[in-house]
A and B are shown apart, each in its own frame.
Chain A
Amino acid sequence: MEKILLEIKNLSKNYHNKQNEIKAIANLNLNIYQDEILAIVGPSGCGKSTFLSILSGIEKESSGKIIKHLNLKTGYMLQTDSLFPWLTIKNNALLPLTIKKELTNDNINKVINLFNKYGLQEFTELYPKNLSGGMRQRVALIRTLADNPNLLLLDEPYSALDYQTRLALSNDLYNIIKQERKTAILITHDIAEAISLADRVVVLSTRPCHIKKIYNINLANKTDPINNRKDPKFNYYYDLIWRDLDVHI
Chain B
Amino acid sequence: MSTFSKEHIDYLKKEQKYKIIIHITQTFILIFLFLIWQILANTNVINVFLYSSPKLIIETIIDLIKQQILFSHIIVTLYEVLLSFLISIIISLIIATILWWNKFLSKVFSPFLTILNSLPKVALGPLIIIWAGANINSIIIMSLLISTFITIINLHEAFISTNKNYIILLKSMGASKIDIYKKVIIQSNKANIINSLKINLSMNFIGVIMGELLVSKKGLGYLIMYASSIFNIKLVITSIIILGFLSFILYSIISYLEKKLL
Write the residues of chain A forming the contact surface with B, with a CB cutoff of 8 angstroms.
53, 56-58, 74-76, 78, 80, 82, 84, 86, 95-96, 98-100, 147, 153
6 nearest A-B pairs in the assembled complex, by CB-CB distance: A76-B172, A82-B165, A99-B173, A56-B172, A96-B173, A99-B175
Does A82 contact B188, Cβ atoms closer than 8 Å?
no
Query: How long is the Cα–Cα vector from A58 to B169 in the complex, in angstroms?
Result: 9
User: Would you call A100 and B173 a contact (CB within 8 A)?
Assistant: yes
Q: Which residues of B contact A75 (CB under 8 A)?
A: 172
Interface set, chain B 131-179, CB cutoff 8 A to A = 163, 165-166, 168-175, 179
**0/1 per residue, B5-47, Cβ < 8 Å to A?**
0000000000000000000000000000000000000000000
Confirm or deny: B55 has a beta carbon within 8 angstroms of a beta carbon on chain A.
no
How distant is B175 from chain A, measured CB to nearest CB, in Å?
5
Q: How many residues of B contact A (CB 8 A)?
A: 17
Inter-chain CA distance A14–B187, complex, in Å, is 33
Point out the residues of chain A lying under 8 angstroms from B187, CB to CB.
Answer: 84, 86
Assuming A84-B187, A86-B187, A99-B179, is B174 touching A78 (CB within 8 A)?
A: no
Interface residues of B (CB under 8 A from A): 163, 165-166, 168-175, 179, 183-184, 187-188, 190
Q: In this complex, what residue of A is CB-closest to B190?
A: A86
Given A82-B163, A99-B179, A99-B183, A76 and B169 contact (CB-CB distance below 8 Å): yes
| CB-defined contacts of A82 to chain B, threshold 8 Å | 163, 165-166, 168-169
| Distance to closest chain A CB from B1 (angstroms) | 9
Q: List 5 A-B contacts (CB under 8 A).
A: A57-B172, A86-B188, A99-B170, A99-B173, A147-B173
Q: How far is the CA of A147 from the CA of B188 in the complex (A)?
A: 24
- If A84-B187, A86-B187 touch, whether A58 touches B173 (CB-CB below 8 Å) is no
With a cutoff of 8 Å between Cβ atoms, the chain B residues found around residue A80 in the complex are: 165
A57 near B174 with CB under 8 A, answer yes
Nearest Cβ on chain B to A124's Cβ, whole angstroms = 14
**Would you call A84 and B188 a contact (CB within 8 A)?**
yes
- Alpha-carbon separation in the docked complex, A82 to B165 (Å): 6
Q: A84-B188, A86-B188, A99-B179 are known contacts. Are A78 and B173 too (CB-CB below 8 A)?
A: no
> Which residues does chain A contribute within 8 Å of B175, judged by CB atoms?
99
> Which residues of A sit under 8 angstroms from B169, Cβ to Cβ?
76, 78, 82, 95
Q: Which residue of B lies closest to A153 (CB)?
A: B172
Alpha-carbon distance A232/B173, docked complex (angstroms): 41
A78/B188 in contact, CB under 8 A: no
CA distance A209 to B253 in the complex (A): 57
Residues of A within 8 A of B170 (CB): 95, 99
Which chain A residues border B190 with CB–CB below 8 Å? Answer: 86
Question: Smallest distance from the beta carbon of A150 to chain B beta carbons, Å?
Answer: 15
Closest chain B CB from A153 CB (angstroms):
8
Q: Are B174 and A99 in contact (CB under 8 A)?
A: yes
- Contact in complex: B172, A58 (CB < 8 Å): yes
Query: In the assembly, what is the distance between CA of A98 and CA of B174, in Å?
Result: 11
Chain A proximity of B193: nearest CB distance (Å): 13
Q: A96-B173, A99-B175 are in contact. Are A78 and B168 (CB under 8 A)?
A: yes
Q: How far is the CB of A171 from chain B (nearest CB, A)?
A: 25
Closest to A75 in B: B172
Q: A99-B179, A99-B183 are in contact. Are A84 and B166 (CB under 8 A)?
A: yes
* Residues of the A chain whose Cβ atoms lie less than 8 Å from the Cβ of B184: 84
Whole-angstrom CA separation of A230 from B66 in the bound complex: 92
